[in-house]
Structure 1
Amino acid sequence: MRFASSVLGLAATASTAVAAATAANTGIKGFNYGAFFLNQAAKQQADFEYEFNRAKNLQGTSGWTSARLYSMIQWQTANTVISAIPAAINTKTTLLLGLWVSGGDQAVTNEIAALKAAISQYGSAFTNLVVGISVGSEDLYRDASGEVGVGPQKLIDCIEKVRSAVAGTPLAGVPIGHVDTYDSFLNGTNRAVIDHIDWLGFDGYPYWEQSLPNSIDHAHERFYDGLNKTIALAGNKPVYVTETGWPVSGKTVGQAVASPANARIYWQDIACSLIARGVNLWWYDLQESQWGQASPDFGIFPAGDLNTVKASYDLSCVSLILC
């Protein structure tokens, strides 16, 4: 099995010495966690704690002790701190924080207010868990696609607002980044964003790339082609893999077939290779279908009690010979 050699030795030069030291890839492993269930019900602290604890005890693998969030705000509130924060404190789960910036100026103001409130309310018990802050998620991609997103200058403004908000706080040295698709930065105008961040997040889903060969047999090529292009675009900024996965069920997209068997192949080929390289990774996702049925469903676990239902596929990593 071939692995992309450029994943080795990712550079870690950031905008400041502190950010450079903390932005480097260190082999973090975690999952993406939404703020609500499929039925739109907000996740409460107990829900997050249940998920975080389950992630720490997965058969066949270990070390999944980090959570990537998309928002600082508790679902269906104006700017109340998301209950994932006290859940992370109680479970000793590290956090890649996310601020949603495609909802307009007031939404950005609310996100920053919640971030400041979390620092004030929870102190070092919270701030010591934060491994990074993501300002936005796929905003440039959605903006270019005519969806609700933001352009590069607006995104840069948001990034600088967040930097100002954490200046003089225990989060001042935490690396700030942005998550998007690699092709968003093929647009030269968008590349200006990279100059204002400490790390770049890569979201890669070969399953959706139906304009190219995207069967499970081509998934390795599709994924690493996108990741390597992102690494090249990032220059001396480290790249984290912030989202990837393969669905266990759902429609066939191009040549990509959703199934537990293919999800297992993708885990072995992509998750295991990234783990071996020490790349910071947040998988999508632990459980997607709870209080509803996702289609496609990228969850490792099906609907039901996470401590009762079985994983849909094997999570062990079989040793491979690099060639």
Structure 2
Amino acid sequence: MKAVAVATAAAALVGSASAHRNHRNAHQALFEKRGYAEGETCIPGCTTIWKTITGEATLHTPPPPPKPTATAWPTGPAVVPTPIPQVCPTPGTYTFPATTIVVTETTTVCAASTTELPKGTHTLGGVTTVVETETTVVCPYATQSTKDGVVTNVIETTTYVCPSAGTYTIAPITTTVSVPVTTVVIPVVTTVCPGTYTAPAVVTVVETSTVVFCPFESATPTFAAPAPPKETSPVVPVTPPKAPSGGLGGAGGKWAMTYTPYRPDGTCKEASEVLADCKSIAHAGFTTLRVYSTDCNTLPNVGAAAKELGLQLIIGVFVGKPGCDNGNPDVSHQIAAIKEWAQWDLVKLVVVGNEALFNGFCTVGQLKELIYRCKSEFGGAGYTGPFTTTDVVSAWLTQDVSSICDAIDVVACNAHAYFNANTYPSQAGPFVAGQLDLVVKKCGGNKPGYVMETGWPTAGVCNGVACAGPAEQAEAIKSIKETIGDRAVFFSATDDPWKAPGSCNCEQHWGCGQLFQ
């Protein structure tokens, strides 16, 4: 089967090719967040936004030749904090004062890198990617365009078919050096993240004509958002019908919390550690825990803690990269483990798949068949409660999911207001409620709806007016709790330091349990 990937930079490509190979070892990034519905996007942290642009490599106009001891800093603010070339045409002492540049949004530029090369023909630059199968890669790359004798660095995009597994360098530049050793300039795609950048003061003494580059050495994130409007028009959700099987949901803005038994380094917690975590969640007033899979002895350990503390469980069959086919041994292993455990008195809901449609792990038909398979196998083992699947809102709205709607007993989605650039923390609750309402209506409006993941990060980039931070999280969680907390699973009990930061620099920082203590 062919795969389609988007290449952004060499390091990112190598990481994406290897980071999701084994769900059991790396937990398959169970909580990885993304932009979900139409209009929901996250400004990348330091990944490349590709488009065709042209311009000088540094995007700065050099100042006129200075006199010795004179300030040679360019006039006017710099566009982005790329090293600024300063021309020192004669011997003398030159002073370049400190400067500060504030970048308010992620900016992609065509910058320059230098290297020394011996005499001969060399292949440089390009984008390196590692693929595990035949893959079509769409990627940006930096190159040079010559017109009327003027060489300009530009960013272009290309589509390349990697015919088989291997390492490929896409769109490199070939250059010929005719002298023994020379320094050449290579255009590179460079992304500048939001932040405050500082170039310290520099005093240099030169003996010959030269060019001095003054780099920006540090960046402090600056994620200030404009104040929210005084008046808002919250989305008023449709009141759903009552839930089947004795009722799902909570009271007082609290129902369920997501939980995974991983230590900060990603290793599995012991039963005693799991019990301590669950005691904290129960003490905060939650009645239900949502778990995603059966790895790390989740069901025996969390189940035992739940029984001791009087908690209920939402259990899951997690579908990862191997896919949704009924022959997937990982899925079969989870189904067998759940049937062997069979503590049905603790189970309030079974969730088959978490964002499996959005990730392309299941087709609609495959997911429907897997839901029916789980209904048959778990029903035969004694479970009589409801089933559902959960996905991001865009996955529900952009596909014909009528057969899935027929298969599930309750409707569910994952909705995170942080990924909508127009939503302030104070508006998180109405936003999440409105997203669930869309999914309930997509399935005909006659089944109850629940949010299986919702929260707000304490750290990460500003996504429009949606900024991460402890105060912002507290405001967002309060809004969600007051608006839809009785029908929502909060995400998550603790931070996840074992995860990669992600494009929004937020993946490790969704722990919100402390707000309920």
TM-score range relative to shorter protein: 0.7 to 0.9
The TM-score, its normalising length taken from structure 1, stands at 0.76
Q: 2:372 aligns with which of 160, 175, 178?
A: 160
Q: How does 1:28-107 map to 2 (within 5 A)?
A: 29-58=255-284, 63-74=285-296, 81=299, 83-102=301-320, 103-104=322-323, 105-107=328-330
Establish whether residue 227 from structure 1 lines up as the match of residue 421 from structure 2: no
* Maintained 8 Å contact 2:405/2:411: yes
Alpha-carbon distance in 2 for matches of 1:240, 1:232: 13
* Maintained 8 Å contact 2:433/2:483: no
Give identity over the alignment, percent. 22
The structure number with the bigger radius of gyration is 2
Return the offset for 1:37: 3.3
* Maintained 8 Å contact 2:424/2:466: yes
Q: 1:151 aligns with which of 354, 363, 380?
A: 363
Return the offset for 1:156: 1.0
CA deviations over 1:236-269 (Å, ceiling 9, x no partner): 1111111111111222223321111111111221
- Residue aligned with 2:394, SS: helix
> What residue is the counterpart of 1:215 in the other structure?
424
Q: How does 1:295-306 map to 2 (within 5 A)?
A: 295-296=505-506, 297-300=509-512
Q: Which residues of structure 2 form unaligned runs of 5+?
A: 1-231
Establish whether residue 251 from structure 1 lines up as the match of residue 461 from structure 2: yes
> Cα distance 1:217–1:127, how it changes in 2: closer, same or farther (>3 A)?
closer
1:48 corresponds to which letter in structure 2? Answer: V
Return the offset for 1:191: 3.2
The TM-score, its normalising length taken from structure 2, stands at 0.49
Alpha-carbon distance in 2 for matches of 1:82, 1:182: 32
> What residue is the counterpart of 1:321 in the other structure?
none
> Cα distance 1:133–1:232, how it changes in 2: closer, same or farther (>3 A)?
same
> What residue is the counterpart of 1:189 in the other structure?
400
* Maintained 8 Å contact 1:25/1:238: no
CA deviations over 1:133-165 (Å, ceiling 9, x no partner): 00011111111xxxxx21111111111111111
2:396 corresponds to which letter in structure 1? Answer: F
1:269 corresponds to which letter in structure 2? Answer: S
* Maintained 8 Å contact 1:240/1:281: yes
Alpha-carbon distance in 2 for matches of 1:265, 1:54: 21
Alpha-carbon distance in 1 for matches of 2:365, 2:305: 34
Alpha-carbon distance in 2 for matches of 1:293, 1:155: 28
* Maintained 8 Å contact 2:291/2:316: yes
* Maintained 8 Å contact 2:306/2:313: yes
Alpha-carbon distance in 1 for matches of 2:500, 2:394: 30
* Maintained 8 Å contact 1:37/1:292: no
1:197 corresponds to which letter in structure 2? Answer: I
* Maintained 8 Å contact 1:100/1:135: yes
Q: How does 1:111-130 map to 2 (within 5 A)?
A: 111-119=334-342, 126-130=343-347
- Residue aligned with 1:153, SS: helix
Return the offset for 1:38: 4.2
Q: 2:355 aligns with which of 138, 161, 166?
A: 138
Alpha-carbon distance in 2 for matches of 1:256, 1:127: 40
2:372 corresponds to which letter in structure 1? Answer: E
* Maintained 8 Å contact 1:73/1:82: no
> Cα distance 1:244–1:199, how it changes in 2: closer, same or farther (>3 A)?
same
1:287 corresponds to which letter in structure 2? Answer: T
CA deviations over 1:85-112 (Å, ceiling 9, x no partner): 2222222221000111234411110010
* Maintained 8 Å contact 1:12/1:236: no
CA deviations over 1:29-75 (Å, ceiling 9, x no partner): 121012423422013322221111001223xxxx3121101102336
> Cα distance 1:177–1:166, how it changes in 2: closer, same or farther (>3 A)?
same
* Maintained 8 Å contact 1:11/1:24: no
Alpha-carbon distance in 1 for matches of 2:491, 2:238: 20
Q: 1:265 aligns with which of 475, 481, 486?
A: 475
Structure possessing the higher relative contact order (Cα contacts under 8 Å, 6 or more residues apart): 1
> What residue is the counterpart of 1:288 in the other structure?
495
**More helix, by proportion:** 1
- Residue aligned with 1:142, SS: coil
Q: Which residues of structure 1 form unaligned runs of 5+?
A: 14-19, 120-125, 144-148, 302-310, 317-323
- Residue aligned with 2:357, SS: helix
Across the two proteins, how many residue pairs are aligned to each other? 273
Establish whether residue 199 from structure 1 lines up as the match of residue 422 from structure 2: no
Alpha-carbon distance in 1 for matches of 2:261, 2:412: 20
Return the offset for 1:271: 1.4
> Cα distance 1:284–1:141, how it changes in 2: closer, same or farther (>3 A)?
same
Alpha-carbon distance in 2 for matches of 1:178, 1:293: 26
> What residue is the counterpart of 2:241 in the other structure?
11
> Cα distance 1:91–1:255, how it changes in 2: closer, same or farther (>3 A)?
same
